[in-house]
């Protein structure tokens, strides 16, 4: 396991290359199923108590959390997906109906259509480029998730579950004061818990 450069831009390029190298479709599908089962064991429906869970539509080489989201739906959680506004703003979340047509948003990411209701998730599955054992998380560098978690958490607790391939772990990920803490990080190999 490598140490990332302290400079976040260099760290991102290196972390992205590591994730992009995970091309084996069997490994990727097995990881998505293992993460589904680990997420299922976290007791999210009890934590959100009828509230909804925000996931993400996979982008590039990210781990596909749709199997985990569909499992959460079967156990009674409403689901939402992020809608990206301009850089420097928090994400908004719209209710995701897997049977409804999707729209193409900023960065080419699939999003729920503008007709879907805006919701305030009580738990988020958070994509990342790299993580460490202390709960450090490196994102895409636009600050979307840090702003989003800060805004949502101003209204009450929001569970943050970082999701990654185990290969995305590094000895130490550079962190800043504004980085919002993860409560859990789930990979295909393990479930890490931070804080209380």
Residue whose CB is less far from ligand ATP, 140 or 194:
140
Is 12 assigned a ligand-binding role in the annotation? yes
Query: What is the total count of residues that contact ligand FFO (CB under 6 A)?
Result: 16
Q: Is 131 one of the binding residues for ligand FFO (CB under 6 A)?
A: no
48 contact partners, CB below 8 Å, separation of at least 6: 77, 121, 122, 123, 159
Cα 100 from Cα 77, distance rounded (Å): 17
Cα 154 from Cα 14, distance rounded (Å): 33
DSSP notation for 143-156: -HHHHHHHHHHTTS
Query: What is the total count of residues that contact ligand ATP (CB under 6 A)?
Result: 15
Beta bridge partners of 162: 126, 185
Stretch that binds ligand ATP, among 42-50, 67-75, 143-151, 153-161 (CB under 6 A): 143-151
- Residue 138: contacted member of ligand ATP, ligand FFO, none (CB under 5 to 8 Å, by partner type): ligand ATP
Q: Which helix (H) or strand (E) holds 192?
A: strand 191-193
Q: Is 144 one of the binding residues for ligand ATP (CB under 6 A)?
A: yes
Cα 121 from Cα 190, distance rounded (Å): 24
Contact 162, 122 (CB under 8 A): no
Q: Which of residues 44-103 bind ligand FFO (CB under 6 A)?
A: 56-59, 62, 82, 84, 91
- Residues found near ligand ATP in the complex (CB under 6 A): 8, 138-147, 150, 176, 178-179
Binding site for ligand FFO (CB under 6 A): 56-59, 62, 82, 84, 91, 107, 109, 127, 139-140, 142, 144-145
């Amino acid at each position: 396991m490598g140490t990332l450069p302290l400079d976040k831009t260099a760290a991102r390029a290196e972390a992205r290359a590591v994730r992009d190298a995970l091309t084996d479709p069997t490994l990727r599908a097995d990881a998505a199923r293992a993460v589904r089962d680990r997420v299922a064991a976290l007791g999210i429906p009890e934590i959100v108590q009828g509230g909804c869970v925000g996931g993400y539509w996979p982008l590039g080489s990210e781990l596909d959390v749709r199997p985990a989201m569909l499992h959460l739906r079967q156990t009674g959680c409403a689901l939402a997906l992020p809608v990206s506004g301009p850089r420097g703003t928090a994400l908004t979340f719209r209710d995701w109906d897997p049977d409804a047509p999707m729209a193409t948003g900023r960065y080419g990411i699939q999003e729920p259509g503008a007709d879907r209701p805006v919701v305030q998730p009580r738990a988020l599955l958070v994509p990342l480029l790299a993580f460490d054992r202390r709960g450090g998380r490196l994102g895409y560098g636009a600050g979307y998730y840090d702003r989003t978690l800060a805004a949502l958490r101003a209204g009450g607790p929001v569970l943050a579950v970082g999701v990654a391939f185990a290969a995305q772990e590094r000895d130490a990920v550079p962190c800043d004061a504004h980085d919002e803490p993860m409560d859990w990080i789930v990979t295909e190999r393990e479930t890490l818990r931070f804080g209380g």
